[in-house]
């Protein structure tokens, strides 16, 4: 007997296909920054850098340790999307030629003291109220320190995936009003994946694209899920109408059923909040979660499957079963599912060939 395990299979061909689809939406002059923060949304930072760097103009991360790993593999632009919070990190960034976001006055003080004006991205608060300079505050800094410098002006949308939200137009307007007051040589960047999909005329000089690369953007069915999370069935049983399955007896059989127990639970990163009825895939057919997810097991209804045996794989998401399905049917976001998979799940990164 070989030992069994849950697997997370990552297919880089899909990143490349998704990037091509996304790049087709851009203006000719827009450059493509692949956002690969948080271990490339759980897809393995170093491998993805190798496999997509010919298609990307730069890479975006938040943590300086991730930026250093990328620099070992690539000479492309690397943006620290939250900038630096100390003089020490500024020095590391200068040594490694990282671009830096500057989002508040504390950060600007560090930059100003070092007289470092290369590769800066000034972030404006246009309504998200999380990071970024207020417009007047930024214009003051601009007049005093930046009017003869090259830099990138950026902001981030709060509701890019929702075209009915009025906040998008308001954020664009604030951003455009300010940028019209600045030197023409500055570059501009607003777009994350949702903005590329919904407002392709706002891609400006740089897009910062994350979730679309991995196929987790809800509202599009051409971008494919690059991860497969799968685990084998370890037990099958028949139950009778009225029987309950799993913790708290949440799932109650309305008829006689066949139940499969799958070797994956919340300790592997599947949220405990997954609802009954959530689709999974066994032998290319849809089955559904039946019973509360436990620590090491998930129970599924396979009553309608003629061929289903112990050892068969159950897929929770895959190129064939979009991660956006499980996310939207459970009020989750695909970012969360992708970055939740735990280390005890075996990671298999396919090679490009
Ligand atoms: C994470 C991040 C992005 C990428 O957003 P997606 O929705 O994943 O495309 C873009 N910009 C900033 C500043 C980010 O932090």
Tokens representing 168 are: 């998008």
CATH number at 145 reads 3.20.20.10
Q: Are residues 156 and 45 located together in one domain of the fold?
A: yes
Residue 2 lies in a domain: no
> What CA–CA distances, in Å, run from 344 to 4, 5, 36, 233, 347?
12, 8, 22, 17, 9
Ligand 1 within 6 A of CB of 103: no
Residue 4 lies in a domain: no
Ligand 1 within 6 A of CB of 101: no
Q: Are residues 251 and 197 located together in one domain of the fold?
A: no
* Contact yes or no for 236/258 (Cβ under 8 A): yes
Which residues 6+ apart lie within 8 Å of 143 measured at CB? none
Tens of pLDDT along the chain (353 residues) come to: 578 999 999 999 999 999 999 999 999 999 999 999 999 999 999 999 999 999 999 999 999 999 999 999 999 999 999 999 999 999 999 999 999 999 999 999 999 999 999 999 999 999 999 999 999 999 999 999 999 999 999 999 999 999 999 999 999 999 999 999 999 999 999 999 999 999 999 999 999 999 999 999 999 999 999 999 999 999 999 999 999 999 999 999 999 999 999 999 999 999 999 999 999 999 999 999 999 999 999 999 999 999 999 999 999 999 999 999 999 999 999 999 999 999 999 999 999 97
> Would you give the DSSP letter of residue 346?
E
Ligand 1 within 6 A of CB of 154: no
* Number of domains forming the structure of the chain: 2
Domain boundary among 157, 192, 214: 214
CA 285 to chain centre: 27
247 is catalytic: yes
Residue 245 lies in a domain: yes
Distance (Å) from CA 70 to ligand 1 centroid:
18
336 is catalytic: no
Quote the domain boundaries for residue 210: 12-214
Q: Are residues 121 and 32 located together in one domain of the fold?
A: yes
Residue 3 lies in a domain: no
- Residue 87 is predicted with a pLDDT of 98
Evaluate if pTM is beyond 0.75: yes
Distance (Å) from CA 180 to ligand 1 centroid:
24
Secondary structure (DSSP) of 120-169: EEEEB-SS--SSSB-HHHHHHHIIIIITTS--EEE---S-TT-TT-THHH
Domain boundary among 184, 214, 244: 214
Residue 222 lies in a domain: no
- Residue 1 is predicted with a pLDDT of 56
Helix, strand and coil in the chain, % to nearest 5: 30, 25, 45
* Contact yes or no for 10/348 (Cβ under 8 A): yes
- Residue 330 is predicted with a pLDDT of 98
Q: Is 243 helix (H, G, I), strand (E, B) or coil?
A: coil
Residue 98 lies in a domain: yes
Q: Which of 31, 37, 202, 224 is catalytic?
A: 37
Q: Are residues 185 and 287 located together in one domain of the fold?
A: no
Ligand 1 within 6 A of CB of 211: yes
Residue 113 lies in a domain: yes
Domain boundary among 214, 246, 277: 214
Q: Are residues 186 and 333 located together in one domain of the fold?
A: no
Q: Are residues 253 and 197 located together in one domain of the fold?
A: no
Residues 143, 204, 220, 47: is their CA dihedral positive or negative?
negative
CATH number at 312 reads 2.40.37.10
Name which residue sits closest to atom 15 of ligand 1, judged by CA.
Answer: 81
Residue 19 lies in a domain: yes
Atom of ligand 1 nearest to the CA of 192: 9
Distance (Å) from CA 128 to ligand 1 centroid:
13
Ligand 1 within 6 A of CB of 179: no
Q: Which of 117, 145, 199, 247 is catalytic?
A: 247
């Amino acid at each position: 007997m070989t030992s069994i395990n849950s697997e997370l299979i990552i297919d880089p061909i899909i990143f490349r296909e998704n990037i091509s689809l996304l790049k087709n939406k851009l203006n000719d002059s827009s450059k493509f920054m692949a956002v690969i923060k948080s271990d490339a949304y759980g897809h393995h930072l170093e491998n993805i850098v190798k496999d997509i760097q010919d298609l990307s103009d730069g890479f975006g991360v938040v943590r300086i340790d991730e930026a250093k790993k990328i620099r070992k593999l690539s000479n492309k632009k690397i943006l620290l999307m939250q900038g630096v919070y100390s003089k020490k990190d500024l020095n590391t960034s200068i040594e490694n030629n990282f671009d830096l976001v500057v989002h508040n006055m504390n950060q600007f003080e560090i930059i100003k003291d070092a007289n470092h004006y290369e590769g800066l991205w000034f972030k404006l608060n246009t309504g998200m109220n999380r990071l970024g300079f207020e417009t007047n505050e930024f214009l003051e800094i601009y007049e005093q320190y930046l009017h003869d410098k090259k830099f990138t002006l950026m902001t981030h949308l709060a509701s890019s995936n929702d075209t009915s939200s009025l906040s998008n137009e308001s954020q664009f307007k604030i951003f455009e009003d300010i940028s019209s007051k600045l030197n023409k040589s500055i570059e501009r960047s607003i777009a994350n994946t949702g903005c590329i999909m919904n407002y392709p005329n706002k891609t400006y000089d740089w897009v910062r694209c994350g979730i679309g690369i991995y196929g987790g953007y809800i509202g599009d069915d051409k971008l494919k899920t690059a991860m497969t999370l799968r685990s084998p069935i370890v037990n099958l049983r028949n139950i009778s109408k009225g029987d309950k399955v799993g913790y708290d007896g949440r799932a109650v059989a309305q008829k006689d059923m066949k139940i499969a127990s799958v070797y994956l639970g919340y300790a592997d990163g599947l949220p405990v909040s997954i609802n009954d009825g959530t689709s999974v895939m066994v032998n290319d057919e849809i089955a559904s979660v039946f019973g509360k997810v436990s620590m090491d097991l998930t129970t599924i209804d396979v009553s309608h499957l003629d061929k289903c045996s112990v050892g068969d794989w159950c897929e929770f998401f895959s190129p064939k079963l979009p991660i956006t399905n499980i996310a939207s049917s459970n009020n989750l976001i695909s970012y969360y599912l992708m970055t939740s998979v735990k280390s005890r799940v075996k990671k298999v990164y396919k090679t490009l060939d």
